[in-house]
Structure 1
Amino acid sequence: MRAYYTRKVTGTILSTSSSLLAQQCQCRFQLSLLTLLLTPDYPIPITILGKQTEQKKETMKIMVAIKRVVDYAVKIRVKSDKARPIEHKPSSYFISKSCLSNRTVSFRFVSQSGVETQNVKMSMNPFCEIALEEALRIKEAGMASEVVAVTMGLKQCVDTLRTGLAMGADRGIHVETGGPLYPLSVAKLLRALVEVEKPGLLILGKQAIDDDCNQTGQMVAGLLNWPQGTFASKVVLDKEKQVVTVDREVDGGLETLCLDLPAVITTDLRLNQPRYATLPNIMKAKSKAIKKFSPEDLNVEIKSDIEEVQVTEPPKRKAGVILSSVDELIDKLKNEARVI
């Protein structure tokens, strides 16, 4: 730091020691080095090297939404419960009617009620891992002060939230709900949490591997009226200009967007490689704070117009035919497939 004092020197300098000159100038700073250039009628530059008061840095909070899903390495099995009639609402689609006690009742028949999750390994959605990793990298670069991980669902979702804390998130938020959540309900809950936490950036995985909806990020951006960058393969944050540049993968190649903060970003697979949670960090995660909410606390009503009618396994593909020679292949392409 450099300060200028204007003095007209008419006397004689008796000493050039730093301590004496500091007393003569009556400087209120703690000086470690003092240099004076004394010229009549000219400013005296005083160079001061010492402790300076650090200005308080502006901080930005990043919120990351994570989801608990069946582990990607687990073979999915559909529940084997038998068909049963379930009473339908009058506005719903039905396939049969039955008159009982002069009352018309609508029924639908469900053969399978969902995917088997009992005694099945559950993990964090891989796209959510990428979103959390990107948030942690932004924080490590000094562009953010805090990373908050958010999840919604049953009480077992806290285990997935602890994994996010072990990866490096500072604290967690769990919105405990009873039944299944569809994208619009999740988006409404996220909007309510954003209004509470006031983050500068909301990052989500582009989709979950259980339903592959790819809708939540777009919906919450619309509810918040924030700009959005979906399918992000590169994220560059400019804190001074309060913008974020996103390279997104589209059918024709790459599209670059410049978004004003606050913004919503959904992550693609090629954005980064998520880190592993180390054992010391797993132990530290047990002491990190997790705040709990209910939908009622956030004034959000959980309802959906979507009804899951049936869950079935995809049809099995026919086994391939192994051919012993090129001549046999040509014969089948010519006579059976008729493509040559």
Structure 2
Amino acid sequence: MENVGVVSVIIPVHNVENYVHNIFEFMNSQEYKKWELIFINDHSTDNTIREVNREKQGIIQRVIIKDNSGIGVSAARNTGIKSSLGEYIAFVDADDKIKTNYLRVLVENIIDTKADIVMCSYVEVLNGSTKVKLLPWNGLIKSSNDIRNKIIPRVVFPRKNEKQEWLPVWRTLIKANFLRKSNILFNEKLSQAEDFIFLFELLLNSKSVSFIRNSMPYYYIRRYNSALNSFIENNLEHQDIYHSLLVECLNHYGIYEKLKIRYLSNKAATYSIAISNATRINNKVETLNEIRNVRAHYVKDRKLNTFPISHLYNRVSVKMGLYLLKMNCIHILELIYSTKEKHRRGKLN
């Protein structure tokens, strides 16, 4: 079969003309040569697609360009999945970097372990400084029960002395047949944490997953002007969609009650993030109003606001934020979180 061993590398692109050459350079230098590149044009208005067409000249591997059928990265990745012909599926973000052994490490592991999903560690790059992000697990987990008991709880939210692990879809290789049989795609209603829900559902459907802890062939480039540093409109509404899907998953697989405190700790962190987001508005009056909006949201959140804050697994600072939110101490929250945000931004510069 022509697709045996081929990796379909899906890359959503939106106004990234300055990164297209790097993408082809990284792919051409891969030690593993059986790949196809699928660019999904996510409504670019610059010369991104012209650059892709120019760079793909002379490439012997299959390079295709598809237009996004919807809006946003989730729809773009779904278009890529539906267009893929490979035995395996991988995702790369256009402005990140991959080492020459990236595909080889993942493919060799998935062949050796016969896992449904393979994940590797990665390196985070910020302002030229690098930080190794090691997976908390290593090796093959080869049963659904072990995945649900050893992996899923920590992914939902870590307890004390457990390392928190998020689920970016890049640095991951997935068997295409497993993905299609699972009938799981990215939820196009989500504009935040879409990776998490996608991989979370896949983990809950998988019978085996392999972790490569001691190899870091993917470089995640964090940028100061990313969403983490700008005010996000309707943030809480987006979080509501994410949490409704997460609860739906936990209930569907019968593990909500077992993981209830972990889940509520996850949701508590959402409110702390929402307050931080409010402080990114460059207007104190509007920031205070947004924090009041966060509190109004919290008051309606019966799952969380009726649960003892002291029982949550969050850091003390997050718990204190919830206490202050409950007591309607809006000005104190603005002062504390504005100071924290200023300190965080200072470290990024």
Query: TM > 0.5 between the two?
Result: no
The structure where strand makes up a greater share of residues is 1
Q: TM-score, normalised by structure 1?
A: 0.30
The structure where helix makes up a greater share of residues is 2
Q: TM-score, normalised by structure 2?
A: 0.29
